[in-house]
Amino acid sequence: MSAQTLDRPAKARKSRRSVKDKFLADGGRRPPVWKLVLRYLLLLVMFAIMVGPFLWQLSTSLKGAGEDIYSYPPKLLPSEPTFDNYTKVAELIPVWDFALNSLKVALANVLTNVVGAALAGYALARLKFRGRKLATVAFVMAMLVPVESIIIAQFMTMRELGLNNTLTGVVLPGCIGALNVLLMRNAFSNIPYEIEEAAFVDGANAWQRFTRIALPAVKGTLAVVAIFAFMGAWDDFLWPLIVLSDQSNFTLTIGLNYLHGTFANNQRLVAAGTIIAVAPLIVLFASLQRFFFRGVGEGAVKG
């Protein structure tokens, strides 16, 4: 190992000290202790509100039939953890078939949104054509329309196209989201025009500038669009409930609703089904979180 490699931690510490010394020299002051305590207390409260229900569901799903889930004071940790509830869920309903249908819908939604939103966003941000501003306003207005107000029209359209009771009919209305298009537009707008002008002088056409310059610069926003598209399709309940009637095509959210309606007294099974539905979202976000946070910054500020 080289001396330069060994010296990196020392250089990093020196850099951090210099930033701290400069901050204090400029008149900066550390916040009072009570403010720090209050800040961390608020963070703990928010953590309990947001993560607490998930931890409680996870705990309930791991409790056996002989353990009281309504005990007071409540017990978060199961005395004898078991996975029998997950096995019973798979025995009572075809949960893995439902999960496969949801995965097909979610992956198709991710693919169509990533490709379609990227193309539309690049056109709105970088190409000059008549009516570009009007098209941008149309996407903004589309976000203001409640889904419930157009869901009947969507159902009639799917019926006329013969796509009722198909997974294609579930995917089609949400294949390109207006929010995703606007996210991609903002991300592409942040790319300096000088880079594309240089490529244009070198003879690159619009497609080459899009694939070789623009797309590599907005990988983070593409990850954000992929996460939003996957979560929206995976969690959607109302539209699949309306358009699907054959149990073999049911998505996971509809299948778990049948579990809750039939076995409402056994909250352990309901909790196990909930964890099965949430687990893929946690894995997805954990895999793409570094791209997600970078992508939020790409489209946040223009210029």
Confidence of residue 296 (pLDDT cuts 50, 70, 90): low
**pLDDT value, residue 265:** 64
Q: In the predicted model, is pLDDT for residue 3 greater than 50?
A: no
**What is the predicted pLDDT for the residue at 243?**
92
Q: Read off the pTM.
A: 0.76
Main-chain phi, psi angles of 302, to 5 degrees = -90, 140
- The pLDDT, as a whole number, for residue 118 is 93
Q: Of 74, 71, 237, which Cα lies nearest the Cα of 151?
A: 237
What are the tens digits of pLDDT across the range 168-198?
999 998 888 889 999 999 889 888 888 888 8
Name residue 46's amino acid: M
Cis ω for the linkage preceding 146 (within 30 of 0): no
pLDDT computed for residue 298 by the predictor: 56
- Encoding tokens for residue 256? 């778990």
d(CA 184, CA 123) in angstroms, rounded, equals 10
SS3 28: coil
Predicted pLDDT at 42: 92
Crossing angle for the helix pair 84-92 and 267-298, to the nearest 10 degrees? 100
| Greater model confidence, 262 or 245 | 245
Q: How far apart are the C-alpha atoms of 83 and 74, rounded to whole Å? A: 20
Cβ-contact 302, 190 below 8 angstroms: yes
3-state DSSP assignment of residue 282: helix
Instruction: Please give the pLDDT value at position 17.
Output: 54
Residue 303: predicted pLDDT: 40
